[in-house]
Amino acid sequence: MASAAALASLKRALAVVTALPDRLRKRGPAPPPGLDAAEFGGTNPDGKQAGPRKSGRKGTLAALGGSGPAVVGGLAAGVAAGLIAWLAATADETERSRLARIPMIKVPVAGGAGSDAAKPILAPADSGPARPLPPRSVTRGRLLDTDAPIKLGQAPLAGLFEDSPAGPLPITGAEGKTSWQVYARPFPADDPRGRIAMIVTDLGSSSQATGTVIETLPGTVTLAFEPRVETIRKWIDAARDRGHEVILTVPMEPLDYPLSDPGPRTLLTFLPAEENATRLEWFLGRAPGVIGIISTTGSRFLQSNDDLPPILRLLHRRGLGFVDSRITLSAVASDAARKAGLPFAFVHRQIDRDPARTEIDSQLGELEKLALDTGVAVGLARPLPVTIERLTRWQKALNRDKLTLAPLSAVFDRFKPADAGEHGTDAGGAGSGDSGAGGSSGAKPAAPAHGH
């Protein structure tokens, strides 16, 4: 039934409408615009009743004015009757609609056969965090959605880190669990399609670009963050909350160092191995939840057979993976990663080295062909507006029957010893070098006077 407040309001409205005829009888009808009270037959300013001075149109108006109260009273009675009838007919439906808008759960009462057992109990509006949706899997010949939105949760997790002056550092947990496995985005190992992993680098420094990438691109795109930004943990949490796997972009020595200087705590070939390890752990301590690292600057460091292997062994002990950006034509880093036994991948194409729409689309097409031929392809991209726009269009049009976007962790097992020779970078691939495509792992350069 209708609420008591609504009935009270209706009674007040009816009282006002019912009183209108008496009020009109006392005051008389108001004259139309352009006629004074004496001409219309209403009340004079002295309070006496004035009759119509002229017949015809004005007399007719006076006659109608006299019957005004009766007409208004009839209308009021009709409106009131209609409102009462409508409320009576829709009261139950209105009450059901009101209850339907309130979150409820039904709790059965043990042994209660009466009406109390079915009474709804109001539930809180927030029933806790949403559960992750299941990943895509091959089920009865049909493919479910691997791009479904999921939350990867907060990090670090108990048992997967140790405290240090640098912050929480990843460790291998009980039963051999590692960070790259636990913090990975779920992906079915039995998905038979060609896998394309896309990594967007240089994130964290620009709030606008970083936020756009996190919110716009699907969670199967892996995000690489610059670890020296103050808000690194906030960005990692936001990215994982949207389902993105996260890695770190670690600064390493380029060929033309110090002319090109990646900044503080860069890993350098003329530093002792212990110092480079300390620098890497400083980066890792600031970024719990990552599954590995990549470097887009280390054209010299990544070719050093003396300096790179200790770093890769440290990553292996910490349960993390490694991505060879192939910024040079050398395969030293990939070979060293295999020897160190850690999960790794290397980049086949940087899609926006030439940030023109046609060139980006061409590179994406090359990744598709490679994934169809070999089962895997890895692309590298920057957070440029044109890159984000082309990536968004491309992934929506991707042939999902044969290809799928995959998180980085889902392609680690696709890189075998023969991969470097068969699918290494060429002139149109990822390798370009920081100051040219070349270099060797020869003698160490002398330390510059202003090293980091």
Q: Tens digits of per-residue pLDDT, 144-203?
A: 467 788 999 889 999 999 999 999 999 999 889 999 999 999 999 999 999 999 999 999
Q: Are residues 183 and 93 in the same domain?
A: no
Strands 222-225 and 194-203: what pairing?
Answer: parallel
- pLDDT value for 3: 52
Domain extent for 52: 4-108+116-122
Strands 169-170 and 161-162: what pairing?
Answer: antiparallel
Q: Are residues 325 and 199 in the same domain?
A: yes
Instruction: Tell me how far apart the alpha carbons of residues 152 and 339 are, in angstroms, rounded to a whole number.
Output: 31
377, β-bridge pairs: 196
Residue 446 in any domain: the answer is no
- pLDDT value for 57: 44
- pLDDT value for 175: 87
Q: Are residues 162 and 238 in the same domain?
A: yes
Q: What are phi and psi of 351, to 5 degrees?
A: -75, -20
- pLDDT value for 61: 39
Residue 141 in any domain: the answer is no
217 near 391, Cβ under 8 Å?
A: yes
What CA dihedral angle connects 363, 207, 280 and 448, to 10 degrees?
A: 80
Q: Are residues 261 and 405 in the same domain?
A: yes
Q: Are residues 267 and 349 in the same domain?
A: yes
Q: Are residues 271 and 197 in the same domain?
A: yes
Q: Are residues 102 and 226 in the same domain?
A: no
Domain count, the chain: 2
Q: Are residues 278 and 351 in the same domain?
A: yes
Residue 146 in any domain: the answer is no
Q: Which of 303, 295, 311, 292 is nearest to 331 (CA)?
A: 303
Query: What is the DSSP secondary structure assignment for residue 73, as one 8-state letter?
Result: H
CATH number at residue 415: 3.20.20.370
Distance of CA 116 to the CA centre of its chain: 43
Low-confidence ranges of the chain (pLDDT < 70): 1-145, 416-452
CA distances from 197 to 245, 246, 253, 340 (A): 11, 13, 26, 23
